[in-house]
Amino acid sequence: MTGFTQSFNWRDMQMADQNITGGRELDAFLQQFSAKFEKKVMRGALRVGANEFKEEVKANIPVDSGALRRSVRVTTNAKGGRVTASVKIGNKKAWYAQMVEFGTRAHKITPRGAKALRIAGYVVADADHPGARPRPFARPAFDARAARAATAVGTEIRSRLTAKGINLPDAG
């Protein structure tokens, strides 16, 4: 595994385990438009919301080399009538995102395809790693920015619809 992802689904309007009111009403309102239009509006709006999380995630990442921070990105997907946005953390170079977020238990490191390991200039048959304490950066970011991201999504939807001459009904 090369990292991990935090996602939210606009149909349920749940972000970071927080319910956002008006999601079902918004869905019903958007159903009157073409699927292509709906998908385009929602992808753009969810990208704006996910970027709120992305900035907080990047700010929270403990920096050693900076590779993990540079690996944070936002993607969107629309499949089967479901539009999602994800904040993805980690890549081939920064494959250790989950280990930083959740920590590791003590474990033995053994060589793969070799007879020995080279650690800090020493050659050893194996090594006992003491484990690493968790340094959460993703979950705290999602907890801190859930309301702000939801507001950004709503503002972006309203802005995109208004630009097309469509007035969104006020939330009750």
Highest mean pLDDT among 10-24, 94-108, 157-171: 94-108
Do the domain assignments include residue 99?
yes
Residue 74 host element (H or E): strand 73-79
- How much is the pLDDT for 144? 92
Domain membership of residue 37 as a residue range: 4-104+134-163
Secondary structure of residue 46 in the 3-state scheme: helix
Q: Does the pLDDT value for residue 74 go beyond 90?
A: yes
Write the pLDDT tens digit of every residue in 30-57. 677 777 777 888 899 999 999 999 999 9
Do the domain assignments include residue 149?
yes
Do the domain assignments include residue 90?
yes
Number of domains in the chain: 1
Do the domain assignments include residue 93?
yes
Residue 4 host element (H or E): strand 4-9
Record the pTM. 0.73
Do the domain assignments include residue 113?
no
Whether the CA torsion 43, 44, 46, 52 is positive or negative: it is: positive
Residue 89 host element (H or E): strand 82-89
Banded pLDDT at 27 (limits 50, 70, 90):
low
Do the domain assignments include residue 125?
no
Q: Does the pLDDT value for residue 14 go beyond 50?
A: no
Q: Does the pLDDT value for residue 161 go beyond 80?
A: yes
Do the domain assignments include residue 82?
yes
User: 161: Cβ–Cβ under 8 A, 6 or more apart, which residues?
Assistant: 41, 167, 168
Token pair of 161, please?
């619809």
- How much is the pLDDT for 47? 94
Facing residues of 8 across strands?
A: 85
Do the domain assignments include residue 170?
no
